[in-house]
Structure 1
Amino acid sequence: MSISTLSVVIPAYNEEAAIQECLDRIFEQIDHIDEVIVVDNNSTDATAAIVAAAQHREPKVRLVKEVAQGCAPARSTGMNSATGDIVARIDVDTKINEDWAANIKSFFSRHSDRYAAATGTCTCYDLPFQGLFASLQRKMNAKNEAKLERGESIAAPGLFGSNMAILKTAWEDIKSALHDGEDVHEDTDLSLTLQSEGLSCAMVPGMEASISGRRYLSPVGSYWRYVLRGPRTLALHGKRLSAALGTFAVAATAMPFYLLMWVPFRAWDPERESFSLGRLFAGAERRPQPRAHV
């Protein structure tokens, strides 16, 4: 089977502040991308107008609408609309690395018989302390590159919704089994559904990206509800023990980390790359969360 075309899906809800930069980064790689689908999920700001203007600059851009509120239905509408052999999906605040699109196409052209989906590593461009994470990820990607050359597995435990790709044929096979509820992690749901069908995901070197860490700046109650979606998604798939362990992990690790980082994350000025007490007391920038349009 020939795998040669790539669609990129971008769900968007009230993203006028970031959508143009997102598209500009895509346009830098447009020679390797066959269509760009922005899904307007009931935006009340200028998001749709900005995308419409971008269509005059680049005819590969398509603007579609989804009235059912939520990241999962918006994602699904984009995936269903895509015509590429491969369908990548990012968030508006995802900053893809150089050659991201070319590397996705190259990977699937060689390994689509073994892997149905792919994901890449991510760091947060607007949070402190990212150097260590980036270093660890570079080492992991180098190891995966060597494994690929040796024909060894680079299977990933799941997909990261801000930076992923899936074969369109695999999407068609599993989409009817997905959940669109607001209380699930749509990428975890997709990953578990692929696994249940015996389809593998890969952690692909060269598919790196950086994302916003604004989720960590959300109020404590909002963050608590968000991280509990993981265990709920596991429970939906009948993985009761994993769901129970996941709930424990949320209480024992995710929430303590959130609280530990509450001050430094809010005091960090990503433009100056320094800490500022003024930012701490001014409060976080209020933008919609990219993966919870509810």
Structure 2
Amino acid sequence: MNNVKPTVSIVVPAYNEESVIRQCLVAAIYQTVPAHEIIVVDNMSRDTTAAIVGQMQAEYPEAPIILVSQDREQGLIPTRNFGLGKATGDVLGRIDADSILEPDWVEQVSDTFADPEVMGATGPVVYYDMPMRRWGLKADDRMRQLVLKVAYKQYHFLFGSNMALRRTAWETIAGEVCRDEADELHEDIDISVHLADHDLLIRYVPGMVSGMSARRLEDSPKDYRYYVTRFDRTYKAHQINKPVLKIPMLIFMSIYYPAKMLRYLHTARSSQPVRRGGV
């Protein structure tokens, strides 16, 4: 019996991410099961992103941090594709530069893909710069469980900040995924649709947790609405018209103002000086 677990690569597309790339890599390094490799794909950053990654390679020589450059074109999708093409693990984890993986993330992914039928996996997120983080994690998990329940045997969706693909599954769809030059779609939903078109199984894993920033709430209402309606545009681009698939879009639209206010109050409270006792 073969008990060897699949190896997991972590791919991080990065453009001007000097404020978050260090914390992302530290979390990726300190895992209960080490990643096969941690690939940062710098997409012509104009800040110190690449320099920080280089510093971390020197600070953590035992860690499999790899820095590559995608300088042919600007954009998340070509940068993501370049990184996934460079990865050599059995499973390709894809996260954002502001993702902070839970310590057992690689272990959870490897255990999930020990099932040879699993071709894609995703999990919940915890917003680390919001109050009531653990409550938020439970709410995020409940929302995703609900979507999976009502969309049973339809199009399960991956989440770009916390997803993994079997390398053979990526090789199957790599030449088909949308280029989205107009930047109108959700690239992670696009991947989900292409996997579904090939009847490749996506599994939701509650224990596969990643932290991410709620910085999207800093967008104006107009920009946030455009971001959220990418769900609808992605499905329409694939000529998919299933009302149940609008649920995530409606949920994200409804939480904008309450979540924005919570984030504002949390930030204001955190920025207040600490009062110390004394005479």
Instruction: Give TM-score scaled by structure 1 length.
Output: 0.78
In 1, the alpha carbon distance for the partners of 2:84 and 2:108 equals 20
Question: How many equivalent pairs are there?
Answer: 259
Determine the structure 2 residue equivalent to 1:65: 69
The residue type equivalent to 1:82 in the other structure is A
Name the SS for the 1:126 alignment partner.
Answer: coil
* Greater alpha carbon shift after TM alignment, 186-195 vs 58-67: 58-67
2:277 corresponds to which residue? Answer: none
1:1-294 superposed matches below 5 A: 4-29=6-31, 32-56=34-58, 57-58=60-61, 60-67=64-71, 68-109=73-114, 111-112=115-116, 114-136=117-139, 157-181=156-180, 182-240=183-241, 242=243, 246=246, 250=249, 254-269=252-267, 272=270
Q: Tell me how large the CA RMSD over aligned residues is.
A: 3.1
Q: Do the aligned residues in 2 keep the contact of 1:156 with 1:203 (CA within 8 Å)? A: no
Q: 1:18 to 1:261 in 2, by over 3 A?
A: closer
CA-CA distance at 1:108 after TM superposition: 1.1
1:290 corresponding residue in structure 2: none
Preserved CA contact (<8 Å) 1:8 1:89: yes
SS at match of 1:32: coil
Secondary structure in 2 matching 1:49: helix
C-alpha distance in structure 1 between counterparts of 2:227 and 2:142, whole Å: 30
Residues 41/195 of structure 1: CA separation in 2 closer, same or farther (3 Å cut)? same
TM-score by length of 2: 0.82
Distance 2:15 2:186 in 1: 17
Q: What's the offset of the Cα at 1:256?
A: 4.1
> What amino acid sits opposite 1:51 in the alignment?
V
Q: Which runs of 5+ in 2 are unaligned?
A: 146-151, 273-279
d(CA) in 1 for partners of 2:103, 2:242:
40
- CA deviations 1:173-229 (Å, max 9, x no partner) are 011110121111010000011011101111124211221111112112221221121
Counting aligned pairs with the same residue, the percent is 34
Note the C-alpha offset of 1:105.
1.1
Q: Do the aligned partners of 1:155 and 1:202 also contact (CA within 8 Å) in 2?
A: no
Say if 1:35 and 1:62, in contact at 8 Å, map to a contact too. yes
Change (3 A) 1:249 1:36: closer
**Take 1:189 and 1:249, find their aligned partners in 2: how far apart are those partners?**
15
**Does structure 2 retain, via aligned residues, the 8 Å contact 1:10–1:89?**
yes
Letter of the structure 2 residue corresponding to residue 8 of structure 1: I
Once the 2 structures are TM-superposed, how far is the Cα of residue 249 of structure 1 from its aligned partner?
7.7
Deviation at 1:259, TM superposition (A): 3.0
Structure 1 residues 193 and 92: CA distance shift in structure 2, 3 A: same
Q: 1:205 to 1:84 in 2, by over 3 A?
A: same
Map of 1:149 onto structure 2: none
Unaligned runs of 5+ in 1: 143-152, 277-294
- Is the CA contact 1:155–1:203 (under 8 Å) kept in the aligned structure 2? no
